[in-house]
Structure formats: structure tokens, C-alpha cells
A and B are shown apart, each in its own frame.
Chain A
Amino acid sequence: MSRLQVVSGKGGTGKTTVAAALALALATEGKRALLVEVEGRQGIAQLFETEALPYEERKIAVAPGGGEVYALAIDAELALLDYLQMFYKLGSAGRALKKLGAIDFATTIAPGVRDVLLTGKACEAVRRKDKRGRFVYDYVVMDAPPTGRITRFLNVNDEVAGLAKVGPIHNQAQAVMRVLKSRETAVHLVTLLEEMPVQETVDGIAELRTARLPVGRVVVNMVRPQVLDATGLELVRDTPRAALARSLSGAGLGGARRGGHAERLVDPLLAQAEEYGERYTLEQEQRAVLGELGLPTHELPLLAEGMDLAGLYELATELRKQGIA
């Protein structure tokens, strides 16, 4: 099991949710997981219903079985100042750099520096050991940038090592790449059973593979329950409306005759079934596309009540059941 789990996915597919559920799932039996956020959106805090996370590792949840989940919102600017302090004992010069706009430049505009800092901090947490030589975190789960940017984000080596050919940033980039391209890392992609997210997943995996980054699993999120299967959908087409009206009426939903309550339900219910059928076919097609990737695939249910803390634990349990953790 890789110790750095990177979770990406197209916008709107719920990658933050999946990353959080994964961290909870991994933190079983006294294990400790660190959930890191790199895009400054405070999505983790919102999910765990806590106040905004500082740039500091903080315990945010206890998993069933006594494991712990810590969270960290990595701030590129603070990470850079940290880093300068650590290696150069910069002190007040760091502040002067900031005033000059150099920090801002380095963390927002300079190609790749920001990404090196963010992935660097995550890799540092992966490698960190306590006094007795044990890893501080059993797992680090990263809520990463979306699929369209993930390869570039992780592949800092090409970008930065090429630009900064010597010096600490170069060395840092090299060290980060050693972790990211090893078996220590797995990159998971979250998708929905819809055309665009699936297409983006397929493209994303091809890019990751080309860059020799370790592809992990595909997580299909928000899967709607199967209410009618192929046989049921066939019945939808073949069953006479009058028979349906009688059946609904029999269930206590009003009159089966023309204009009766049960009879008036038939059309809208059939229309919904037809929509469902159309979506069902599309979903089957998308499942087949994902199947061709030859990757372990997991499906997480759409939570009827929307996403909340209880739902998060439910998804974690589901992931564990499916053997992802």
C-alpha cells in the first residue's frame, strides 16, 4: 500500500470528499493519516465542519478503531518562508523578500516553484520520522489539483529541474520526484459516470502514464442506486398503462380510471423511468470505457441526504469494505 495517496479528479466530481473518506478509511487500527490540501480552498475544513485550517498539522477526526486523521492546508508562501528559514536562516531577510514581491513572485508566478513547494511539503510529511525512527504518518492523502492539471503539478521535475539546473530548488525538485515516481505514491482519479469526467479521466491516466507517474485506482463517485435494471426497463416499455394505473391504485394511490389520481401518476412516472433508462444506458457505456483502463475501480454511492460528516464516515466504511484501505 503506497504511503502517499494522491487524489485528483475533474472539478465537481467530489475529489475532496473522496480524499477525506480515503484518509478516514486508511486511519484504522491506530494508524495515523495526514490529509493535505494544496489549493487553498479550505474544502477539508468545510467537510469536517471545523474552522479554517491554519498552516499547521492538526488532528481533525478520529476514525473507527482508534486511528487518527490529521489535516494540513499547505500554504505555498508560508512553506517557502519556512524553507528559506530552514536552509538559509533568513530571518528578517525573508520579510524583506516578501516586501519586494519576491515571495509572491516565487509562489504565484515563477513557473513550477509553487508546485515544488506544495508537493515538497507533502513528501516531507511522507518521509518524516519520529525519535524512535518510525514514520510519523502511516499515510499521507493529498487532495490534489484537478485531472486537467495533475500531471503537470506532480511532474515538477521536468518544469523546474529544467529551469533551475542547480541550487536548492533543483535539489528539492529531484528529491520530490524520487518519492512521486516510486511505489510510495499512488495517484487516484475520481470521476462520475458521465461522459466528460470519464473522458478526462482516460486522458489524465494517459498523461500520468506518459510521465511515468504511478496510477492507482479509479473511484467512481456519486453513483445513483440502481432502481430498475435492464429487465425492469424493458417492462417499462411493454407494460400497458392501464395495468400500471391499476397497480398504483391498488397501492392506495387513488383511482385507476382516466383522470383518477393513480392514472395521472402513470405518465410522469413513466417519463421519469424513460429518463432513468437513458441515463442508465449512458452510465453503462461509461462503465465500459472505464473498464478498458484495466485499473482497480471503486464505486461510491450518491448520498441521498447530501454530503455531511456522517456521510463521510459512510463513504470511508464503503472504501474499506471495497478493499481500498
Chain B
Amino acid sequence: MSPEDPARHREGARPLTAARVLDVDHLLEDPQTRIVVCCGSGGVGKTTTAAALGLRAAERGRKVVVLTIDPARRLAQSMGIDSLDNTPRRVKGVDDAAGGELHAMMLDMKRTFDEIVESHADPERAAAILGNPFYQSLSAGFAGTQEYMAMEKLGQLRAKDEWDLIVVDTPPSRSALDFLDAPKRLGSFLDGKLIRVLLAPAKVGGRAGMKFLNVGMSMMTGVLGKVLGGQFLKDVQTFVAAMDSMFGGFRTRADATYKLLQAPGTAFLVVAAPERDALREAAYFVQRLAAEDMPLAGLVLNRVHGSGADRLSAERAIAAAENLEDPRIVDQDHGKAGVRTSPGNSPDPDGSSGSADSGPGTPSPDTTGDAPAEGPTDAPERSVDALAAGLLRLHAERMHLLAREQRTRDRFTARHPEVAVTEVAALPGDVHDLAGLRDIGARLATGRPELPEPGA
């Protein structure tokens, strides 16, 4: 039972699994890196991570634009991007000594969609599309539109070539993978068979085979009309007719964005918290990116807890706390009295020496020396003991949390040892300003700064 007991290997010591450490600064500074995509499940700090990476890259000399999807209000305000105008704005307060700049914007998906329409159709046709009820619903945000528009905007920013580096946040989707799938899905709809049926519901072809096919198709439109209601179908048809010339364009754009994501200058960062669900989603993501030939740079593990006292196991902390809380069970008063009245009798007389450190493992009952001094002087002592017990319980809780996080993390590392990881310590509150983002950026770059090395 020494403070260095073996339990700590189970409990607190973190760096047992040899995960590769992600070199964030190298990634951000490398001129080859042109796009960083932050993805991951909801509630893991994707937006904050994207903003912190953007700020760090800018302060290290790059001209950066951060595309956020749905930032917390106060964060958006602090970056000056709380107004939705769908264009990047320069962020003030960034250290530009290294020659970098930070621009940021918040995605307005409807506006982005409108802009595509306006740039591809003549004014009259564009007006017809923009006024169509089906288009209005589609562009206001249905399954996939946000994802599609995020990728569309990314494509636009990249095409402008005004920035060295684009950092993208991804939408808080049903599944973290949606933004990969949605553009294709929408693209294939807009380019697909169904559209052709809707465009030419009653045409009768010349050849027998075609004739049969078209009879089938007109039956289909009949059914669709029945199910969806005639007006709805008509709206879709009008929409489709108006968009006709643009469909090829949509498909081409979706394909181009997809290729952009596979390009060498793109790096994906999977963001997660050391929790089971978030890491499971991260693992899916890692597999999926590999399957799609998309370059994964590494895993950002947010909200990791550490402890400066991780050699003291939860069990020992609780035992000691109980000891302090209920002096009747153990001869606690003796111990304290001893310490108080004769500090020279402390179990660890010269504490600093290494060999003496193992002393407390074998405390002899008579380190206490003389009899306990019960009485009035005991009251403040008691409250100190209560506080010490509280601190120990707090510590035990922290150690349990550490152990749980470590287990979750180990499970991920075992499955994906190839993935480089950087850890960011949990902060008590949210980040609302550039100073907070800078701090996160520094933590991202050091991997695991706050966690003491074993034996340090």
C-alpha cells in the first residue's frame, strides 16, 4: 500500500498505449495542406476545434478561412461572424506578426443554394425556380441540404483560391457520415431516372420496348400524383423543368467536391470525446474515410481529463477519506494528534528522499506517539479533515473518470493503432473568445501537455 502501488497502472497512468501523436502544427504549417475537414458526432466540440485550428494556423502565418456550420452564439459573436451574409469576414484581434490572416464565415444554406441557381440560370428562370414551393422547402433545409451546401461552399471557397488553408466544420447530422453521402444522393436524384420520368410524364415512345417502359412510367407518375397529391407533383415538375439545364451541373459539382475531398491537399480530422458513443462514431468514420480513399490526418480527442495526483488511486483516496470522515473506526485521532502535536513523528520524517517515500506504505501504529488531545482544539481540525476528505473523494471521482476514459480510448487505439491522436484537456467551461481558442490551439498542438509523464 505505498502511494506508488501497482494500482496506478490500472488507474491513472495514461501513456501505456502507444498511440501515435498527431503533429498538429506540422499539419497546419505545411503549405501542401489546403483543406482541413473536422468531422465527428454531435456535441464533441467540432466547431470549437475548427475555429481553434484556424486561429492557430493564421497566427503561424497562413491565410486561413474557417467555414463553420452552426457555431455557438457567443463564439460567433466573438469572431464577428454572427451575421449571416454567407461571405467570409476577416476576424479581428488575430496576431498577424507572422503574416497570416483569419477569415471566418457561417454557412447560410438557403443562400448558398440560391446562389447556385442564380449563377446557372438566366434571371427569368432563376426567379421561377426561387419562387417554386418545392424548391423553397428543399433549400430551407431538408435531409441532406445542409450537408450538400456545406460541401458546395467548400468547393466555392477552394475555387476562389484566395486562401492558403480552408478549415471546415461539418453539420451536426444524424450520422457523422451524412456529409459524404448527401451530395451524392441529392446529385443522383437531380440527375436521375426519376427526374426524367417527371419531366416527360406522358410521352409515348416509338419502339415497342420504349412504349412499354413509358406506359409503366406514366403509371408511376399517376401513383406519385396520388400519393403526394397533384399539386405537389406539379410543383416538383415545374421545379424540375426549370432546373433542367442545371442538372448536369449539379452532378458535376457534386463529383468535383467529392474529388476535392480525396485530393492530396485535404486532411480529415476526426473529432471525438473520450466517450463510448463518440469514439464508436469516430471508428466508423475512420473506416469509412479509408473506404472512400479520403486522407485521414488523425483523431482529435477533446475533453480528456488528467490529474496531477494520478499516482494516488481511487481506492486509496476513498479509504483515506473514510478514515478522515469517521475517526471512530480507525485510530484516526491518534494519527492527527500525533501529527499536530509532534510533527517530528510524522511517518515521513524527511519526505524529500526517495527511499523514505515508501515509508507511508508501512505506517506503524505508534507513529502517533502520545495520547490524543480531545477537546476544543479539535473543531478546526475536524473541518480541515472534512475538507481533506472532500478533496480525496473528488480525486477518487476524477480517477474513476480517467480510468473510464482510458478504457474507451484504449478500445479505439486497439482497433485503429494507425491513427495519430492529439488530446485536449477538458475545460470547466465553454470557449467564447479568441484567447480561449488560442489556448485550445496550443493544447491541440502539444498533444497531451497537461498530463504529467510517469516518473516526472
Contacts and interface: CB of A to CB of B under 8 A. Distances in A.
Interface of A: 10-13, 39-41, 43, 46, 84, 88, 90, 93, 96-97, 100-102, 104-106, 108-114, 145-146, 148, 152, 159, 162-170, 194-197, 199, 224-225, 227-228, 232, 235-236, 239, 243-244, 246-263, 265, 267-273, 275-276, 278-279, 282, 304-307
Interface string B298-338: 00000000011100100010011101100000001001101
Contacts of A152: 141
A259 B391 contact: no
Contacts of B131: none
Interface stretch (B57-65, B113-121, B246-254, B397-405): B397-405
Interface of B: 3, 41-44, 70, 72-73, 133-134, 137-138, 141-144, 172, 174-175, 185-186, 188-189, 192-194, 197, 216-217, 219-220, 223-232, 235-236, 273, 275-278, 280, 307-309, 312, 316, 319-321, 323-324, 332, 335-336, 338-340, 343, 346-352, 356-357, 359-360, 363, 381, 383-395, 397-398, 400-401, 404, 408, 428-430
Nearest to B351: A260
Given A12-B273, A169-B227, A244-B387, A255 B335 contact: no
Given A101-B194, A268-B307, A108 B185 contact: yes
Nearest to B172: A11
Given A228-B394, A253-B3, A254-B348, 5 more contacts: A39-B174, A169-B227, A252-B363, A254-B357, A256-B348
B232 A306 contact: no
B215 to A, nearest CB: 12
A236 B389 CA distance: 12
A111 B357 contact: no
22 contacts: A40-B175, A88-B223, A93-B223, A100-B194, A111-B138, A163-B134, A163-B229, A163-B232, A165-B231, A227-B394, A228-B391, A232-B387, A235-B386, A246-B384, A249-B347, A252-B363, A254-B3, A260-B348, A269-B391, A269-B395, A272-B308, A304-B404
Nearest to A304: B400
B35 to A, nearest CB: 24
Contacts of B430: 194-196
B349 A273 contact: no
Contacts of A282: 428-429
Nearest to A192: B43
Nearest to A274: B428
Contacts of A11: 41-43, 172
B170 to A, nearest CB: 12
Given A112-B142, A251-B323, A255-B346, A273 B360 contact: no
B258 to A, nearest CB: 18
A255 B356 contact: yes
B394 A249 contact: no
Given A166-B229, A268-B307, A255 B347 contact: yes
B320 A251 contact: yes
Contacts of B144: 108-109
Nearest to B321: A251
B189 A163 contact: no
A253 B220 CA distance: 79
Nearest to B338: A250
Contact of A272 (B197, B220, B384, B398): B398
Nearest to A248: B388
A199 B428 CA distance: 17
A271 B324 CA distance: 20
Contacts of B141: 152
A113 B448 CA distance: 47
Contact of B383 (A102, A235, A246, A273): A235
Contacts of B194: 100-102, 105
A87 to B, nearest CB: 8
A255 B229 contact: no
A100 B193 contact: yes
Contacts of B236: 110
Given A111-B142, A165-B231, A249-B347, A306 B404 contact: yes
Given A13-B43, A159-B137, A101 B192 contact: yes
A261 B3 contact: yes
A103 B53 CA distance: 41
Contact of B388 (A148, A159, A247): A247
Which 10 A-B pairs give the minimum distances between C-beta atoms? Answer: A11-B42, A12-B43, A255-B348, A260-B351, A268-B308, A167-B229, A259-B352, A111-B137, A164-B229, A268-B309
B278 A12 contact: yes
Contacts of B336: 246-247, 250
A279 B430 CA distance: 10
Contacts of A105: 189, 194
A320 B346 CA distance: 51
Contact of B220 (A40, A100, A159, A197): A100
A12 B134 contact: no
A207 B456 CA distance: 53
B146 to A, nearest CB: 10
Tell me which of A112, A247, A275 has the highest count of chain B C-beta atoms within 10 A of its own C-beta: A247
Given A250-B324, A251-B324, A251-B335, A270 B351 contact: no
A279 B303 CA distance: 14
A146 B223 contact: no
Nearest to A224: B397
A145 B309 CA distance: 41
A12 B395 contact: no
A257 B423 CA distance: 35
A26 B404 CA distance: 30
A297 B357 CA distance: 49
B137 A112 contact: yes
A84 B224 CA distance: 10
Contacts of B397: 224-225, 227, 304
B163 to A, nearest CB: 28
A261 B351 contact: yes
A265 B185 CA distance: 57
B273 A251 contact: no
A109 B142 contact: yes
